[in-house]
Structure 1
Amino acid sequence: MKLRLLFSFLMALPGDALAKEGTQALPSDDEPGFLTFYLDNDLFGGKDQDYTNGARLSWISGNRNIAELGRIQQLLRKISGDPESFKAFQYLTGFEDPDEIRYNYGFSLTQQMFTPEDPYSYTQPLGERRYAGWLGLGFSLHVKDERILNSVEMTLGTTGENSFAEETQDFVHSAQGIAKFNGWDDQIPGEFTADLSFIQKRRIDFGDFGFKGIRFDGLNEWGARLGSFRTEAQVGGFFRAGFNLPPDFSDPRVSTTAYSHRYFRSSGDVGGDWSIYALFGSTVRIVAYDATIDGPMFRDYDTGIDRVPLVAEVFFGGGIRYRALEFSYVHTWRTEEYKTQRGIANFGSVAVRLRF
């Protein structure tokens, strides 16, 4: 309860003054939210290079009404697809029945780090991934009905030394007895970043297999990110098969707007204390700008590598849930992100979700 009060306090200003007269304000369901910890690491793939680590802590509220949204979330409504959105967004991403809409708000803290293949050189190895770290704080709004989820997140962050990527990697490597990377003095310079992301997920339900509790479902998604850390568009999705599938839109990896969500009509029991499932999926991204490859947006800085604009990936894994606690693992294979990269990248992703 104290943690939920703390996150509520972080919402900049109450949104009551911003809610327009006549705007729909459905009652809060007073359902629990989710706290989720994500960890991506390439040591699960046997290598320590390129995208070497990503960690994200995200919290999302239960269903809330409009009056409970903060000022930042009220501003994000303009591109959420709800009735207060710009007309273009209502047309592209809107909902058929406004009476079915529910709202969630969330916060996230994300760190990502990138390193070359050679850990021993005190200078940046030629043609290899530039040392880079990024740390971002996100404020998000999630608008959903039973089949569609629109997530909008504004993320403020920094590259360079203030991302604490070097300190984080040194701590982990010391704890595991692994050699430290020596070239962090050549990481990309520090620069403030601001990004705005939108992702739409659509639920796909294939029903059961004729056995009690065994089901097959999934989702497809599309979206875009615009900002000074990364600008890209993506399309993809994933499918799950298992016993007592958790009724959710949850992301299995560190990604844009990665949170855990429940379908709003599924706040009760999901059919038992236990769930077990397998999942697989894919994503294709068109990347127009990546600060870790192209260098800082507002500085004249050459990273020594050239970006590949089209990146594809596939992933496979599974998860298990006991009551309010869920654990999942997936493994990802990703095509080259820069022209001199030596083969595809592969890394594992752990997610731990607690509903409270």
Structure 2
Amino acid sequence: MLDVPTPLVPYKKQYINLLSENDAYVYPADRYYSAGNRISYTSKEYNFWGAAYAHSWMAWSRYLTLMIHSPKMTRFNVSMTQTMYTPHLNSHTSEAIVVGDHLYAGWLRASLALFQRAPHALERILISLGTVGPNSMAGQTQNWLHGLWGDKTFQGWHNQLRDEFIFQFNYQWLYQVYILKTRFFSMDILPAVDIALGNAITHVRLGSLLRFGYNLDTDFGPNKIGSLFSGGQPFSNRFSFYFFIGASGSYQPIDIFIQGNSPQTRGITHLPDALYAVEGGFALLYRGFRLSFIATNLSKGFEEQPLSHNIGTVELDIAF
């Protein structure tokens, strides 16, 4: 029977995760990547390297990793995500496609993710299935929310991307390196790589996160939807509070939200050769619960875009 010793202890709490990204959190006008919302469930951690779960029907998951020789804790995650893209708010009254401005687009998808936590590394493998186009219901969602808030509504949603089935595969790897570790204050850096393959987005992203605060051995950082890296869920009951800054660079040859997917939407905007993102924020954790806020500056997503774009992220992790 498999029973590989490991310094890790499986964390037994499950999670409901609520995640919202919106440019309105840091900028007064909708534009470009306008909003993203996600609800997800994350299982407790399993030690499939230990005797208790070595013959579980889920034990196959211990082999789905590039860290094959390192004992690790395994988690499963299922989520539903909707993201939406619009031109600048200045063009909200135009019923035609605005040449040189962002396309109208929505993306609705369901995802299954596998997290593998080693002593100083976190690996995520994710597969998502969904749709872009009217079936994503992004236009209806935005119009409903703007109606509730009394905001201006965009008039060009009938010109959005056409309906198209979307398959995405993502692989992400984070590694923790301590710069300073004391009882009351610590600093670490988390270099990371993210690879996305799919007919919506294909990219290679490299970057890192610098954290400083109290008790950094509680997670690998907050989660994001449309930028940088995701650190999964906490794995400790201890109190933790930290600030962080991060940066990444990406080569992204495919982005359906910029390149379009129909004769009507192709050639309106064009992808830059490279993309960057920088972020800053804080996280507060206690007994597995986590609240975080992130402000992110995204480089020009398309060549015709006049300025970079800012978006805010709010995350609440509910442990039970």
Give TM class, smaller chain.
0.7 to 0.9
Q: Does the residue aligned with 2:220 lie in a helix, a strand or coil?
A: coil
Instruction: Tell me the TM-score normalised to structure 1 length.
Output: 0.79
1:110 matched to 2:81? The reply is: yes
Of 19, 23, 32, the match for 2:13: 32
Question: Aligned to 2:176, what secondary structure does the other structure show?
Answer: strand
On the 8 A contact 1:77/1:141 being kept in 2, the answer is: no
Q: Tell me the alpha carbon deviations over residues 226-252 of structure 1, each in whole angstroms, 9 at most, x when there is no partner.
A: 111111110112121123346111334
The answer (yes or no) to whether the contact 1:50–1:116 under 8 Å persists in 2 is yes
Q: Secondary structure at the match of 1:45?
A: coil
Q: Is the 8 A contact 1:284 1:311 kept in 2?
A: yes
1:289-321 deviations in whole A, cap 9, x for unaligned?
Answer: 01111123xx55515111113100100111223
In structure 1, how many angstroms separate the alpha carbons of the residues matched to 2:210 and 2:204?
21
Q: Normalized per residue, which structure has more helix?
A: 1
Aligned to 2:233: 261
CA-CA distance at 1:46 after TM superposition: 2.2
Distance between the aligned counterparts of 2:240 and 2:11, measured in 1? 24
String of CA shifts for 1:128-180, please: whole Å, max 9, x gaps: 00000001111111222111211100110100111110111112211211011
* Aligned-residue offset at 1:54: 1.0
Q: 1:302 aligns with which of 250, 257, 266?
A: 266
Deviations for 1:170-205, whole angstroms, at most 9, x for unmatched residues?
122112110111100000001001011100110122
Q: Distance in 2 between matches of 1:327 and 1:290?
A: 31
Q: Which moved more, 1:27-36 or 1:114-123?
A: 27-36
Structure 1 counterpart of 2:242: 277
Number of residue pairs matched by the alignment: 307
Identity value in percent: 23
Match of 1:225 among 196, 199, 202: 196
TM-score normalised by L of structure 2: 0.87
CA RMSD of aligned residues (A): 2.6
Structure 1: distance between partners of 2:57 and 2:103: 40
Of the three residues 290, 303, 306, the one matched with 2:255 is: 290
Task: Mark the runs of 5 or more structure 2 residues left unpaired by the alignment.
Answer: 49-53
Contact preservation (8 Å) 1:36, 1:260? no
Hey, which of these two has a bigger chunk of strand by percent? Answer: 2
Does residue 317 of the first structure (1) align with residue 289 of the second (2)? no
- 1:77-226 → structure 2 map (5 Å cutoff): 80-81=65-66, 94-95=67-68, 97-98=69-70, 100-117=71-88, 118-208=91-181, 212-226=183-197
Contact 1:196 1:227 survives alignment (8 Å) = yes
Contact 2:103 2:260 (C-alpha < 8 Å) held by counterparts: no
**Within 1, Cα distance between the matches of 2:23 and 2:266?**
26
